[in-house]
Chains A and B, each alone.
Chain A
Amino acid sequence: MTALVIIEGVIVLLLLVLVAGLLKSHAEILRELHRLGGDVGSPSSPRGVAVTGLGEVPLKAIDGLDTSGQARRVSLVHGKGETLIAFLSSGCSACLDFWSELGERPAMPTETTRPVIVTRGPENESPSSVRELAPRGVPVVMSSEAWDAFKVPMTPFFMLVDGKGSILGEGSARSWGQLLGLLDRSMQDLSDPVDVTIAPDDPSLFANPTKR
């Protein structure tokens, strides 16, 4: 009887260790996902989307080739409206809707937004496939250099940039409507920053930290 109790106690202890290990690894996974910008566990938030909307573009202009293989430079810091950079790939199924949507002159985040499609360069992307997919009237630049500079994490990936090169929003989406919503929210967040300034007569300015 005593031996049975001891064996049972050992089994319970092992199970406890196992459960604790699983909980710990699960917590680490959640922490890592959170760090990467994921939003696990929130059913109201769109999955696979990361909107940060901060900082400056790493390149003032994107140099690459157009769908005919001819050199093209698209300026991002031109002082004239916004640029919506769509990082798309010919082989990504989630990109297909965006390729066609962009050709139908969809609503843009602002009235002065110009869309630009950026794919990897011809060494990493199929120029003929890009040519078939490229919508009329939308600049397409094939540039692995830009892809690397912007550290594109996935496709499709979008970045909205103002005329001074500030990133107004970035992220991924499954549909055009979802993308517009995300960028709109990002722009609202940027235009309504948290006020962390200290007023001239703020009491904290007169506090004596040595006085207790």
Chain B
Amino acid sequence: MSKFAAQGIRIDVPDGWEAVDRTPPEAVDDGSRPAPTLHVSSVLIPEEIASFGGPVAERMTSDDTFMTLIDYGPELAGTPLFASEGLPTLDASMFHRETVLGGLEHQTACQHFFTYEGRAFCLYVILGSHIDRADLIPKVNSMIQTLELE
């Protein structure tokens, strides 16, 4: 693993995986800052990609993983949606086939909201195989536990 840093977020990325800062560059209409958005993936990340992975799922094989981490900042920290405190540890029961946005039938995904160090986060993870999700989750959990905020 080696550290990837962007937008005040640092996370260890496994060897062979890609990472990209996809924070929307344009200012939000109401004057608030764009939410820092990081993509980390074992599949090659295309140039055109939506916040939650867009076309990536179609390119994933059964042993691939794609992760989006969105930092909604301190304003939403601790609100009901982000009530879960601390870095999450994902388990198989949190993944559902229907949570995959534009993916394939055998894939699975999890969306989890949490607050960490006074900032609100959304974590969205797509796994290449629902059946084999238990084999893929540990690597994601290891990565999440390395999250550091500046």
The chain B residues found within 8 Å of chain A, CB to CB, are 2, 4-7, 13, 15-23, 25, 42-48
Contact = CB atoms under 8 A, between A and B. Distances in A.
Say what secondary structure dominates the interface of chain A: loop
B21 A72 contact: yes
Contact of B18 (A68, A70, A73, A138): A73
Given A72-B21, A137-B47, A77 B16 contact: yes
B16 A71 contact: no
B43 to A, nearest CB: 7
Interface in A57-109: 60-61, 63, 66, 68, 70-75, 77-80
Contact of B20 (A72, A114, A137): A72
Nearest to A71: B6
A66 B19 CA distance: 12
A78 B6 contact: no
B46 A137 contact: yes
Contacts of B18: 61, 73-75, 78
Nearest to A165: B16
B48 A60 contact: no
B81 to A, nearest CB: 26
A75 B47 contact: no
A136 interface: yes
Nearest 5 CB-CB pairings of A with B = A71-B6, A70-B21, A71-B21, A73-B19, A78-B16
Contacts of B25: 68, 70
Interface string A35-58: 000000000000000000000000
Nearest to B25: A68
A68 B20 CA distance: 11
A122 interface: no
Residue of B4, B7, B20 with most partner-chain A CB within 10 A: B20
B16 A60 contact: yes
B116 to A, nearest CB: 20
A136 B47 contact: yes
A73 B44 contact: no
